[in-house]
Copies of this chain bind each other. A is one copy, B any other.
């Protein structure tokens, strides 16, 4: 098979599909003997392409998967290395037989197990959140205690530089541990994981994203990086953790641990697994922010295309259980069992709903803040984009990554220390002692350093102080300096090879400048009383900044509302997020989308680009297509699957038209994974005849192989077996969705997206295969500044 690739021209298309290129066909070359038809315009050829195979689970690249050095640093490319998930059930005979055999009671049992799984997902996610919280609390507590002692010791006698060094070293040490496990053991656990989960829910199989190892590294990593004092939050990673828990629990086995509990076997396919992963992500959001409804909406916003009521209800159940579990265990940990007042990792604290929460004439001010948030968010994203490009080019070796992370940890400590040291914003220590580690430093007795509230604290606590500390707790200079430094620190930090989220730093930056805005407003208005509460502006600022960076809308509004526990702020928060999104989108995309684009993921947006009606399936599809006959020679199949230059994943099955030299009519669709299983079990016509007693292949065999189907190279097919025939009838999907060639792109897109398809067969009026539309074919088109743009496809 190797020689075929040399004969044909290079093409960059059609990894997912059986589609080839559009160059003139190679008539009659002997290498294409395994395709059905050798001549004729538009005939079904298999055209090899000069490209490197990049099977997801390919053992050689396993260790590097997800490692930034593979990222082509050009957001105008779409990588072909990502496989898609099959959200459309392959309704082959085996499947239909199983479904038909199943009784009504059987379906009820399945439904009940789905609920049980969702409960488990919620419970475990809540538990993990609880562990992270307690671990961070204690580690950070010890760290701040030691440093505080040290600072207090040296404040009197001088030599605070020793304290600085102690702090920096402690930070760097924590960060080092966190960075090492991520960089060396599981690079997929880097960052917040939200982009990866977005991709997964969108239908792209990001390698190793829902593995147990990723979860372990993620959890340990986030504990280290938060305890290490980085400008990061532990909320984003919760979403990823929830998703991994869901993917694990729902399959009833762990491939990594080689343990199969023989339960939930029915759920071992992409469709079902995705549903549970949505629930897991929602449970993660719910545990992170105490926002079960926000979690559901997050999952829907990111993942759902087809609304399924029962699924949504289960997702909500998982979210509820998750926040309840976290709340319950935290209440026990805090020795107040039954006190269900901390539903999330971050708790904005109670915004007392005074009768006049805000006034109508404040809304324009909020909108201005939203615009400011959009601008600052865009700036953040652009800076981070450049930084990420830099990192991809120059900081791609694990040890360099670890060193960069340690550097950031030490610099964070140094900058914080300098800020605190040079600040002279002393505030009287209130009787309620809301500060956990009040630093007196050079303040008078009974006073504390206000800058230290912001810097010498976990970010969650700082956010809460900015929201709730009484007016006058911070002076404007402190806030401006804090905003400035924290902005750049957070920007530098995001994208480090540590496991950490960007939610909390964004909130913190926004809360700081929001509070500043409130203070300034109160000072320039004659009657300051109505602007009395800078905490309100801190909240709006936090929303604006977060919205400007991540550009989430509906779910973020609900998350913020749930986290504040006050519905009254719903409208302003929504307006602010909307403004931030509109303003920010004018300059640059959201942070997660930038990172998704930088990885060249073929991400399908919710709708086709508005101005794409002039494109039809004919222009969009990959053609010609590699097809198989209903009864196909094993050798042909092996050759097609082994062809490393194409790596197709779906193949239409055709029946020849009797008295005609024409192409065959489509009668089914079969997947690479199914063929692999068939080859592995040697389901050949000849063998079936000779060994009549042979066990019939069952759906179970496909499920056992899921999701890590072996590569074709690992399956040995002897020369004799190559001459055998394989009957695909029973295993192919006999009713693949098809569209005529004239179908417009938006129509194709809608069908594709609504049904979660992976392959869509394009047929002519005679029902003959003329092309295949895959995710990449659709993801290529997007709206740029100057109208519709087409992205290139790349093999890496």
Contact = CB atoms under 8 A, between A and B. Distances in A.
A394 to B, nearest CB: 37
A123 to B, nearest CB: 13
A89 to B, nearest CB: 8
A290 to B, nearest CB: 7
Given A293-B558, A665-B765, A766-B767, A570 B320 contact: yes
Contacts of A439: none
A130 to B, nearest CB: 15
Contacts of A614: 96, 100
Contact of A553 (B96, B313, B359, B737): B313
Nearest to A111: B610
A306 B306 contact: yes
Contacts of A310: 606-607
Given A667-B765, A767-B767, 5 more contacts: A96-B614, A100-B613, A320-B571, A339-B355, A341-B568
Given A336-B355, A611-B103, A570 B292 contact: yes
Taking each of A102, A338, A667, which has the highest tally of chain B beta carbons within 10 Å of its own beta carbon?
A338
Contacts of A606: 307-310
Interface stretch (A63-71, A689-697, A747-755): A747-755
Contact of A744 (B96, B360, B558): B96
A548 interface: no
22 contacts: A96-B614, A99-B613, A100-B614, A107-B610, A293-B558, A300-B312, A301-B309, A308-B606, A310-B607, A312-B554, A313-B554, A320-B570, A323-B571, A324-B571, A338-B356, A339-B355, A340-B568, A343-B568, A667-B765, A737-B751, A751-B755, A754-B755
A783 interface: yes
A353 B341 contact: yes
A114 B356 CA distance: 31
A609 to B, nearest CB: 9
Contact of A747 (B300, B610, B735, B744): B735
Interface of A: 89, 91, 96, 99-100, 102-104, 107, 290, 292-293, 296-297, 300-301, 304-310, 312-313, 316-317, 320-321, 323-324, 328, 336, 338-341, 343, 350, 353, 355-360, 553-554, 557-558, 561-562, 565-568, 570-571, 574, 578, 606-607, 610-611, 613-614, 655, 665, 667, 734-735, 737-740, 742-744, 747, 750-751, 754-755, 763, 765-767, 783, 787
Nearest to A766: B767
Contacts of A565: 353, 566-567
A558 B294 CA distance: 11
Contact of A766 (B292, B571, B665): B665
Nearest to A787: B104
Please give the count of copies of this chain that the complex contains: 2
B738 A734 contact: no
Taking each of A557, A611, A766, which has the highest tally of chain B beta carbons within 10 Å of its own beta carbon?
A611
Contacts of A655: 765
Nearest to A574: B320
A99 to B, nearest CB: 4
A639 to B, nearest CB: 28
Contacts of A751: 737, 755
B343 A567 contact: yes
A334 to B, nearest CB: 11
Contacts of A350: 353
B747 A742 contact: no
Contacts of A743: 91, 735
9 smallest CB-CB distances across A and B, nearest first, come from A99-B613, A107-B610, A754-B754, A735-B743, A767-B767, A304-B307, A100-B614, A320-B571, A338-B359
Contacts of A754: 306, 754-755
A188 B357 CA distance: 41
A592 B748 CA distance: 36
A316 B300 CA distance: 14
A22 to B, nearest CB: 22
A610 B98 CA distance: 12
A402 to B, nearest CB: 38
A86 to B, nearest CB: 14
Contacts of A316: 554, 557, 574
Contact of A735 (B324, B356, B742): B742
A679 to B, nearest CB: 26
A355 B350 CA distance: 12
A578 B317 CA distance: 10
A562 B293 CA distance: 11
